[in-house]
A = this chain, B = another copy of it.
Amino acid sequence: MSARATSTENHPVAPTAAVPPPPLAEGALRVVALGGIGEVGRNMAVFEYEGRLLIVDCGVLFPEDDAPGVDLILPDFGAIENRLDEVEAIVVTHGHEDHIGAVPFLLRLRPDIPVVGSKFTLALLEAKCKEHRLEPTLVEVAEGQHSSHGAFDLEFFAVNHSIPDALAVGIRTPAGTVLHTGDIKLDQLPLDGRLTDLAGFSRLGDEGVDLFLVDSTNAEVPGVVTPEREIGPVLDSVVGEATQRLIVACFASHVHRVQQVLDVAAKRGRKVCFVGRSMVRNMGIAADQGILRVPDGLLVDLDDALAMPPEMVLFVSTGSQGEPLSALSRMARGEHKQIKIRPGDTVVLASSLIPGNETAVFGVVNGLVRLGAEVVHQGGAKVHVSGHASAGELLYLYNAVRPSNVMPVHGEWRHLRANADLATLTGVPADRVVIAEDGVVVDLVDGIASIAGRHEIGHVYVDGLSVGDVGESTLSDRLVLGEGGFISITVAVDATTGRAVSAPTISGRGFSDDPKALDDVVPLVEMELSRTESEGIVDTHRIAQSVRRTVGKWVADTYRRRPMIVPNVLPVDS
């Protein structure tokens, strides 16, 4: 956990229910997030000016326990789905899934929306679109450049994050100037020398920033994030001490982290082998673009790596979050076909521990330790730093930009509130710091931001090939079935008389291992069927209701459990 979640200031807070916003005033600017505020993931902000729209980011959210079986959660496009012709462009600030992952789903609805981003970001997006068989219209930009899309005049600023080539975007409109940080930190000694452009922010601040959208992720954490380069010496010491095989797991998009691993490996005379599809692909793109510098002859393929002496090789792998199908998880279970963990091997988790993944990650650690590996993780060694600005860095941002209005983005409520309080500490009046969750409509009118209404924002679930057909009712059924299974009772009845013409078949799935568990309810169901018949009930729906009631009461009394009860009453013509 991090610092205090405070609520010392009275920031404007949106109504909790939907309130249709009034038409946007002439000459005013509107912003609404269709995802990403009040949650970490599926970031998407929509700006509107004079009937035209600009989208910043369009990412996915990875589901938690309350959405079982779901692969992805998309932003809710509902508020703009009838207005897609009015979209001038999508700006993608960087290449993480929670910023680009939903772009293909939006392009399915209108394939020709221009997508604006940096070279590396667009390369990752293009690979993703290819999987969806889409050929997006890409507009490549770089820090310092401008790009105009209708009335939206964009300027791009370099920012540090945990992926290269990330951008912040300034948006100039006749209604005022907006600055959106994207995901940001302020590494003062970045590995690639590409500093967050605080000077550019200051210059924009001199001109006047009317609305500042700011990454809230680490707003609760005091101080500043340790520079990425301080991980290098730690890795060097771990690699230097290792006498057997080394496996370093990290995010497949964290090129600078991988760069440091490569540099250490080269220095220590180990060859490097990339493991995991996304790691191989992304590092290929990064090397092609000159973002990853790979010393000649350093890389080996898996077969060569396996044939080498253990002290000569280092694997860079995905799976740092304990994903069950990842290479690292399979190694921890002893199920990886090629890489078998042996006593004395060293595994480094050079990554964050995303909340919610603890059980999975520690499961992997336990498996590795049990096989005899030494596991080094951020708890005991500085092998990870965050990609998001801590409170101390956010203060620099506010003091550089001196915004008139602030809107914290990218965070749960506790993060947004902490970020809002930081803005206020630097002198932004509390009533100009708007805590606007997903769907909340914020209008900038005459330089003042205020809440104008609220759209209902739903969760749009992707499950397999379908988008949107899995909704709250299906999920609620899954939760019931997942907790207690179901009991089905099937019986055929004469369609004319309602008389049972088969013995009722009762079976449970996910209810009990005991094959006799449901035996005692059969006579009760038969009695109930006799009763409905004797009362002349022929409506199969009513018969099913009676059966459900009988079985439900019996199972609650007998087992104190609540499986789903599924009666199937089949009418048969006599």
- Residues of A with Cβ closer than 8 Å to B? 1-8, 10, 13, 64-65, 68-69, 220, 222, 343-344, 353, 355-356, 358-359, 362, 365-370, 372-381, 412-414, 417, 463-466, 469-475, 477-486, 488, 490-492, 501-502, 505, 509-514, 517, 558-561, 564, 566, 568, 570-573
Contacts and interface: CB of A to CB of B under 8 A. Distances in A.
A469 B509 contact: no
A317 to B, nearest CB: 17
Given A7-B372, A359-B355, A465-B558, A379 B564 contact: no
Given A359-B356, A369-B7, A373-B7, A561 B509 contact: no
Contacts of A367: 413
B568 A380 contact: no
Contact of A517 (B381, B469, B484, B512): B469
B417 A573 contact: no
Contacts of A2: 379-380
A513 to B, nearest CB: 4
Contacts of A492: 492, 502, 570, 572
A5 B478 contact: no
Contact of A381 (B4, B64, B373, B484): B4
A380 B353 CA distance: 19
**Total copies of this chain within the assembly:** 2
A482 B69 contact: yes
Task: Specify which of A4, A488, A573 lies most central, judged by the most chain B CB atoms within 10 Å of its CB.
Answer: A4
Contacts of A482: 68-69, 478-479, 481-483
Given A65-B359, A379-B2, A381-B4, A474 B485 contact: yes
Task: Specify which of A344, A368, A464, A501 lies most central, judged by the most chain B CB atoms within 10 Å of its CB.
Answer: A464
A470 to B, nearest CB: 6
A568 B490 contact: yes
Contact of A69 (B359, B375, B484, B570): B484
Given A69-B483, A509-B481, A365 B568 contact: no
B1 A374 contact: no
A473 B505 contact: no
A321 to B, nearest CB: 13
A560 B465 contact: yes
A340 to B, nearest CB: 15
Nearest to A238: B4
Task: Specify which of A469, A486, A511 lies most central, judged by the most chain B CB atoms within 10 Å of its CB.
Answer: A486
Contacts of A485: 69, 474, 477-478, 481
Given A373-B7, A412-B362, A568 B571 contact: no
B366 A470 contact: no
Given A366-B412, A413-B366, A488-B566, A571 B502 contact: yes
A253 to B, nearest CB: 22
Contacts of A343: 7, 10
A496 to B, nearest CB: 14
A492 B569 CA distance: 10
Nearest to A501: B572
Nearest to A490: B568
Task: Specify which of A1, A367, A369, A477 lies most central, judged by the most chain B CB atoms within 10 Å of its CB.
Answer: A1
Contacts of A471: 513
16 contacts: A1-B377, A4-B374, A5-B365, A7-B374, A8-B374, A10-B343, A355-B359, A356-B359, A362-B414, A366-B413, A369-B417, A463-B561, A475-B510, A492-B572, A502-B570, A509-B566
A504 to B, nearest CB: 10
Q: Which 8 A-B pairs have the closest CB atoms?
A: A482-B482, A1-B379, A3-B380, A464-B560, A477-B510, A481-B481, A471-B513, A69-B483
A490 to B, nearest CB: 4
B380 A4 contact: yes
